[in-house]
Amino acid sequence: MLLTIATYACPECEKQQPKILRGIAHGAGPESQWDYVIVWAIVAIVVVTLFFAVKWTIKPGEKDPNHIKRTLYKF
């Protein structure tokens, strides 16, 4: 419950935020439209990275019998 309360913005910060971020973000709002472009580009990179990390963790696809992972598991 304490963690939930700490995540809401204070009244002063809420006044500075654009409509979409009001109540959830502290500090000054975005300076320009480029801030949104940068954030969405980073979100896209993180989502793609997470997808491939999970995909290759579950099914790495290495079939070579001399692959390094096979030498580590021979013990």
- Residue 38: its pLDDT value, please? 94
d(CA 67, CA 51): 24
Half-sphere exposure of 24 (CA within 13 A, CB side): 4
The pTM (predicted TM-score) of the whole model is 0.61
Winning range, highest mean pLDDT, from 25-29, 45-49, 57-61: 45-49
- Residue 72: its pLDDT value, please? 63
Percent pLDDT > 70 in the chain is 80
Residue range 3-26, pLDDT digits in tens: 555 556 677 777 777 787 777 777
d(CA 50, CA 44): 10
- Residue 65: its pLDDT value, please? 79
